Chains A and B, each alone.
Chain A
Amino acid sequence: MARLIIDVLNIDDVDPVEIEPDAIMFDDTGLGLDSIDALEIAVAIAEQYDVHISAEDEATKEIFATLANLTAHVIEENRTRQTGS
């Protein structure tokens, strides 16, 4: 997931292991990402994992807060789909 974010956002000077799982992604102190980055990450996640993010969903802010949350969300969505099908 860290690799996906680095590739999508063109921050290839950052090593995947440098992105701390619990660091806040969307503020000035963490990776400093903005809403356009969120859109690009959402597109990449949809393409790679077939998991779709919605702004209508109250939990989206929480999901995008940290790398750990985002990863957990993608895993959970995949698991739900597998057990549901």
Chain B
Amino acid sequence: MSAIPLVPRIASEAFARRGNKRISVAQFCADIQALAQTLPAGDFIINLCQNRYTFTVAFFAALANHQTNLLPAKRDTADARTLAQRFGACPIISDQGGDDADVRVAIEPGGHGETTSPSCNADHVAAIAFTSGSTGEPQAHPKSWRMLDTWRQVHQRYLPVDPHVPAGLVATVPSWHMYGLEWAMLLPTIAPLTLHCGADFYPQDVVRAVSEFSQPTVLVSTPVHLRALRQVPSPPSNVATIVCATAPLDASLTTQIEAHFDARIFEIYGCSEIGSLASRFPATNPNWEFFDCFDIAYNNGAIAVSHRELPDPVTLADHFNRLDHGDGHQYELIGRTSDIIKIGGKRESLANLTHLLMDVDGVDDAVIYEPAALHLPDTGRLGALVVAPGMNSRAIRAALAQRMDTAFVPRPIRLVDALPRDRTSKLKRGELRKLLAQIERSDHV
């Protein structure tokens, strides 16, 4: 059985930066080996560590032990505990004092130990990522170590950064979601990038983190964070490339961000079943190019993706137009094939959400809509119209928060006397748009 090293990098290079401290690849490997010896035994581990460095060390320590990392969709201890029960009451590890975890992990700075990279069998299931499926039951997406290793090599090849020049890496996305796991955790284990391990979330944090590097820096982020970063008055000059994913960037935000940071945006398209699949430079070409490791079967707008690491082809939730482009193909993203919406990287069916709202006691009729789909200004959130005599929107919001992820709770929730349904009870988009325009007008009287 073939083994693949966890960190195939030069030992003396910098792997991470934590506060003012530079952590070398050798130190990172020593930390992995030391933690691996203290992790509780068992086939599975749930890693709730919040510090980026601790999370990364713990993830690889589990691999060094040939254990499997379970990555729950929601990271509160109650949900993690439910998941743990499904996997033989496996241990939950955390670096937070207050958490109800089984093992508290702390990485001692400058610890000693074996400084060569551990390895893991290629076929070993390195991680199982869970997504909150629209059916309610979380869906499991197992990833073999060979698969993760293949993906990180592909990502390194596509990342528009000189592979021989060391660069910094600052991420605003957590490492425990697939996008962050791929681009802010696995990538620096193979490419000469130094991972910034702070809480880099608010605009000021990001500016400080990037400024701590004197070399060119890659920023791994999302449209939401990039929108917030526009307000930074004097952005650091060493952002070389901005990697963006989770939702398509619109043209005006792309232009603003590229001008503000004097950096190029490299955008990623992916799906939860596989991970990153395609990329584009949105400023120069709106079409997507799938990574060349994948086999793409195109049929009338629908795309099925195959790879030898995937047991079956995966059909994407989006429709595309295929465009011939010299020796290869590019794809224009058309839209979803279903009513699945995506907010904050989470997917849900609009019909299912409306169903949950109708289920609230006191609600007679309701609809949840996506403003952008009705050609209304995109607020990044859903909206709702509700018929519920005697109830206020606050009570409805509280009831919904108990039933769905807060990302999907509509804002605003507006109470109306009736919904403009036709004779067959259907709610046409035109009628809905008319009613919303009326409400908008009366708001401004």
Contact = CB atoms under 8 A, between A and B. Distances in A.
A10 B379 contact: yes
A47 B231 CA distance: 8
Classify the interface of chain A: helix, strand, loop or mixed: loop
Contact of A34 (B228, B344, B413): B344
B400 to A, nearest CB: 8
Contact of A18 (B204, B208, B225, B394): B394
Interface stretch (B40-48, B296-304, B403-411): B403-411
A17 interface: no
Interface string B189-223: 00000000011111111001000000000000000
A17 B35 CA distance: 51
Contact of B413 (A13, A18, A31, A55): A13
Contacts of B411: 9-11
A43 B228 contact: yes
Contacts of B379: 10
A77 interface: no
Contacts of A33: 406
Contact of A42 (B202, B208, B412, B415): B202
A12 interface: yes
Contacts of A56: 198-199, 205, 208
A5 B415 CA distance: 21
B12 interface: no
Interface in A1-34: 9-14, 18, 28-29, 31-34
Nearest to A29: B398
Given A10-B379, A10-B412, A32-B406, A43 B397 contact: no
B238 to A, nearest CB: 19
B381 A10 contact: yes
B17 to A, nearest CB: 13
**Interface residue tally of chain A, by bracket?**
20 to 34
Contacts of B205: 54-56
B412 A13 contact: yes
Contacts of A42: 202-203, 228
A65 to B, nearest CB: 14
Contacts of B124: none
B344 A36 contact: yes
A39 interface: yes
B203 A46 contact: yes
B381 to A, nearest CB: 6
Contacts of A35: 201
**Interface residue tally of chain B, by bracket?**
20 to 34
Contacts of A43: 203, 228, 231
B231 A46 contact: yes
Given A11-B411, A43-B203, A54-B202, A32 B397 contact: yes
Contacts of B228: 39-40, 42-43
Given A10-B381, A11-B412, A40-B228, A29 B401 contact: yes
Interface string B144-159: 0000000000000000
B406 A28 contact: yes
A9 B406 CA distance: 13
A11 B393 CA distance: 10
B119 to A, nearest CB: 35
Q: Which of B200, B203, B413 has the most CB of A within 10 A?
A: B203
Given A10-B379, A18-B394, A28 B225 contact: no
A55 B200 contact: yes
A79 interface: no
A53 B202 contact: yes
Nearest to A43: B228
Contacts of B412: 10-13
Contact of B407 (A31, A34, A39, A40): A34
Q: Which of B205, B401, B411, B414 has the most CB of A within 10 A?
A: B411
B401 A28 contact: yes
26 contacts: A10-B381, A10-B411, A12-B412, A12-B443, A13-B393, A13-B413, A14-B393, A28-B406, A32-B409, A34-B344, A34-B407, A36-B224, A39-B201, A39-B202, A39-B225, A39-B228, A42-B203, A43-B231, A46-B204, A52-B204, A53-B204, A54-B202, A55-B201, A55-B202, A55-B205, A56-B205
9 shortest interchain CB distances as A-B pairs: A55-B199, A55-B201, A32-B401, A13-B393, A28-B401, A52-B204, A34-B406, A43-B228, A10-B411
Given A11-B411, A12-B443, 18 more contacts: A10-B379, A11-B412, A14-B394, A28-B398, A28-B401, A28-B402, A32-B406, A39-B225, A40-B228, A43-B203, A43-B228, A46-B231, A52-B203, A52-B204, A53-B204, A54-B204, A55-B200, A55-B205
